[in-house]
């Protein structure tokens, strides 16, 4: 596990500046405190920071093949590297280490850029082929490991995190305003663009190659399988047995390590299932780590303890105080490079710090909700479609418009629920699935955004709709397909950046690509049964996960920011949403912001997540656009938060 960086000058007569490359590399020290490396040859420079996991002594990077004609920097873990090695040795390759890095090098020598198709695991790497004068960038199938890049007039720069690209000095930090409507609607940017003008992300399952002769070329080598095929009828129990075997196989492969490893345990079905499967596979009690808040509505620690006791784990936990949460926020925005979409990113960082005191590697349950239809929005959309089918078929559009107007006159609480139903929605995925669960729906954005041109510049849901329509399955399959390629990628970036901020490697067995390919082929009726989510996963784990956890209501790692913004931490909203610096940017309409904030503070409406996005955007602007020191960002509210409420 590493942080990687690189510069390729487009003019082959030029030489990479070593001081620039070193600055880029050392910004990522948190990703790799165990070692460092640089390799520069004329117009090409590669750098890395290493967190040593496999072949601790021998896996140093940048690494070359036998004759020094191919060089690589690599971030990740290839779980099948030991299985690939004998075949490569039979073809004449001589290994000098036990590391998976060397396997990628030799596989590239045999397969070229198609080498990625044989790798099982999580990875982002940059490889320079000296003979061909060609750079190859690659990212794993699901986007577990990040890779960003930027083209300038004179060079290509790339890195594991955007801040390293900025440290190179050829890209100036500036807000990419075109993505703001998408950020407001979904909380993240689904496509190649980022919050930084000119900085792009290599999307999952892609390679990007460049040479002077051929220029840049991007290739998609993997996609989530089409889920439309429904094979021979099977029972839920039979499917459950298959899932149990597949998941156990994935867990076993993810235990590859030469250093201690543990598990993030939330007390939900997904991580509890991993604990139950992992425990018999290791000699000593597994080490589990959990985090929560003192607020009863945001504390799942009792369930985490229950899961830990059930498998005899060595369990540790951390309670995060609200003041700690907000004190850490600017530093974590810096780590995440972009405004933080999920409040749960913050406690994830604290539990990662706790884990780092005992292990270097943790397994997590990320990805199970998207694979097994675990979110409430899946069943809400499915039932809206089912119940609304007759209504939409028999009611003319004018009548439906009149009903929507009547629904707007209902009492506030009833109006809120009616707005989520088929009587207020048109029968298409944009309205039923995306707009229905938007943070700031597109219909609301004209009241918020100051520049009307931003509203029409692009479709905020374009990337998600493209992913939705890419498969020929039914509505449930399409929702899962879209989330696996958009929403999940953002979750994985949270997972990577918050764990790596504490120098911990996180692994996601549910996203082993072979498991993903198998599970996406399971009919949706075995995943969502009525209102029961993840039915086949429950069947797979029914005898190893405590019943109290199987039957509990999903909480989704709640963070009580809504309540905090109403009382003690109202000054955070006042400063970063309503303050003169925030309003002075001219991005949003002040009157709407004031109404939003006051409705929330008075308790007449819950705008907690909306205010969270706006607070994070302003913190991001101060750190990256304004260049303010991270330690100074919270100073304007420190005294006021202590005395407020």
Domains in the chain, ordered, with CATH? 2-220 (3.60.20.10), 226-557 (3.40.50.620), 561-643 (no CATH)
Question: Rounded to the nearest 5°, which phi and psi values hold at 614?
Answer: -65, -40
CB-count exposure of residue 131 (10 Å: 0-12, 13-18, 19+): exposed
Give the confidence band of 394 by pLDDT, cuts at 50, 70, 90.
confident
Q: What is the mean predicted confidence (pLDDT) over 564-572? A: 95
Residue-wise pLDDT for 167-216, tens only, equals 999 999 999 999 999 999 999 999 999 999 999 999 999 999 999 999 99
Please say whether the beta carbons of 74 and 125 come within 8 A.
yes
CA within 13 Å, CB half, 360: 19
Q: How far apart are CA 305 and CA 310, in angstroms?
A: 9
Chain segment 273-309, per-residue pLDDT in tens = 999 999 999 999 999 999 999 887 768 899 999 999 9
3-class DSSP state of 335: helix
Residue 155 pLDDT greater than 60, yes or no: yes
Residue 174: the pLDDT is 96
Clarify whether 2 is annotated catalytic.
yes
Two tokens at 416?
């809120």
Report the pLDDT value the prediction gives residue 424, as an integer from 0 to 100: 78
The closest alpha carbon to 151, from 128, 135, 139, belongs to: 135
Instruction: Give the residue from 165, 151, 148 showing the smallest Cα distance to 200.
Output: 148
Q: Which residue has the tokens 């594991």?
A: 160
Q: Tell me the pTM.
A: 0.95
Place of tokens 């764990």: 499
d(Cα 194, Cα 192) in Å, to the nearest integer? 7
State how far Cα 181 lies from the chain centre: 20
Which position among 2, 115, 239, 641 bears the catalytic label? 2
Q: What is the SS3 assignment for 90-154?
A: HCCCCCCCCCHHHHHHHHHHHHHHHHHHHCCEEEEEEEEECCCCEEEEEECCCCCCCCEEEECCC
Q: Please state whether 367 falls in left (phi above 0), alpha (psi between -120 and 50) or beta.
A: left
Give the DSSP H or E segment for 210: strand 206-211
Q: Please give the C-alpha separations between residue 75 and each of 4, 100, 486, 563, in angstroms, as whole numbers.
A: 7, 10, 21, 39
- 227 pLDDT higher than 90: no
Averaged pLDDT score across all residues of the chain = 92
- pLDDT bin (cut points 50, 70, 90) of residue 260 is confident
């Amino acid at each position: 596990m590493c942080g990687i960086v690189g510069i390729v000058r487009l003019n082959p007569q030029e030489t990479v500046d070593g001081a620039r490359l070193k600055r880029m590399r050392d910004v990522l020290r948190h990703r790799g405190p165990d070692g460092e490396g640089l390799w520069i040859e004329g117009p090409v420079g590669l750098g890395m920071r290493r967190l040593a996991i496999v072949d601790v002594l021998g896996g140093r990077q940048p690494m070359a093949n036998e004759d020094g004609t191919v060089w690589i920097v690599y971030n990740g873990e290839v779980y099948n590297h030991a299985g690939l090695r004998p075949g490569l040795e039979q073809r004449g390759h001589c290994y000098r280490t036990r590391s998976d890095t060397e396997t990628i090098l030799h596989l590239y020598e045999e397969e070229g850029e198609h080498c990625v198709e044989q790798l099982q695991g999580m990875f982002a790497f940059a490889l320079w082929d000296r003979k061909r004068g060609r750079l190859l960038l690659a990212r794993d199938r699901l986007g577990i490991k990040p890779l960003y890049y930027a083209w300038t007039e004179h060079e290509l720069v790339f890195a594991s995190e955007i801040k390293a690209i900025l440290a190179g000095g050829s890209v100036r930090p500036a807000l990419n305003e075109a993505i703001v409507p998408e950020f407001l609607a979904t909380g993240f940017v689904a496509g190649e663009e980022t919050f930084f003008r000119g900085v792009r992300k290599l999307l999952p399952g892609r390679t990007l190659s460049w040479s002077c002769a051929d220029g840049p070329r991007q290739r998609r080598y993997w996609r989530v399988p089409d889920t439309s095929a429904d094979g021979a009828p099977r029972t839920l129990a039979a499917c459950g047995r298959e899932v149990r075997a597949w998941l156990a196989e994935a867990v076993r492969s993810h235990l590859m390590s030469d250093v201690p490893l543990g598990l993030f345990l939330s007390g939900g079905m997904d991580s509890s299932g991993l604990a139950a499967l992992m425990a018999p596979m290791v000699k000593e009690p597994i080490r589990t780590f959990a985090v929560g808040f003192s607020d009863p509505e945001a504390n799942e620690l009792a369930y985490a303890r229950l899961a830990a006791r059930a498998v005899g784990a060595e369990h540790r936990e951390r309670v995060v105080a609200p003041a700690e949460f907000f004190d850490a926020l600017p530093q974590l925005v810096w780590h995440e490079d972009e405004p933080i979409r999920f409040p749960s990113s913050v406690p994830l960082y604290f539990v990662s710090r706790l884990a780092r005191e005992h292990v270097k590697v943790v397994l997590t349950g990320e990805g199970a909700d998207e694979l097994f239809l675990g979110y409430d929005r899946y069943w809400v959309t499915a039932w809206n479609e089912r119940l609304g089918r007759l209504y939409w078929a028999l009611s003319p559009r004018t009548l439906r418009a009149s009903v929507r107007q009547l629904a707007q006159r209902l009492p506030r609480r009833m109006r809120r629920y009616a707005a989520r139903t088929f009587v207020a929605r048109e029968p298409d995925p944009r309205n039923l699935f995306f707009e229905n669960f938007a943070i700031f729906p597109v219909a609301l954005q004209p009241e918020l955004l100051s520049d009307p041109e931003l509203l029409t510049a692009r479709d905020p849901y374009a990337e998600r709709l493209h992913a939705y329509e890419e498969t020929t399955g039914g509505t449930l399959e399409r929702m899962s397909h879209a989330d696996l390629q958009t929403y999940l990628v953002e979750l994985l970036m949270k997972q990577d950046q918050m764990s790596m901020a504490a120098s911990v490697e996180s692994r996601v067995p549910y996203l082993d690509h072979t498991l993903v390919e198998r599970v996406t082929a399971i009919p949706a009726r075995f995943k969502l049964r009525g209102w029961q989510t993840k039915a086949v996963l429950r069947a797979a784990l029914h005898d190893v996960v405590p019943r109290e956890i199987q039957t509990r209501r999903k909480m989704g790692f709640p963070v009580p920011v809504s309540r905090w913004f109403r009382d003690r931490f109202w000054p955070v909203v006042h400063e970063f949403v309503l303050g003169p610096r925030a309003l002075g940017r001219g991005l949003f309409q002040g009157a709407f912001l004031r109404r939003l904030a006051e409705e929330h503070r008075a308790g007449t409406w819950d705008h907690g997540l909306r205010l969270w996005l706006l607070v994070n955007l302003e913190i991001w602007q101060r750190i990256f656009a304004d260049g303010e020191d991270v330690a100074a960002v919270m100073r304007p509210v420190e005294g006021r938060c202590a005395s407020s409420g």
